[in-house]
Amino acid sequence: MSEELKGQVAVVTGAARGIGEAISKQLASMGATIILVARDKAQLDKVRQQIEAAGGTAHTFSLDLLEEPDIAQLGKTIQSQHGRCDILVNNAGIGLIGKPLVEMTPSDWDTLMGTNLRGPYLMIRALAPLMIAAKSGHIINISSLAGKNPLPNGAAYSASKWGLNGLTYSVAEELRPHNIRVSVIAPGSVNTSFGSSKQDNPRKIQPDDVARVVAMLVTQAPQSFVSEVLLRPTQKP
Residues annotated as catalytic (active site), given as ranges: 157
* Rounded Cα distance, 203 and 190, in Å: 9
Q: Which residues have CB under 8 Å from 70's CB, separation 6+?
A: 63, 64
Long-range CB contacts for residues 102-110, cutoff 8 Å, separation at least 24: 104/155, 104/156, 108/156, 109/156
* Rounded Cα distance, 68 and 74, in Å: 10
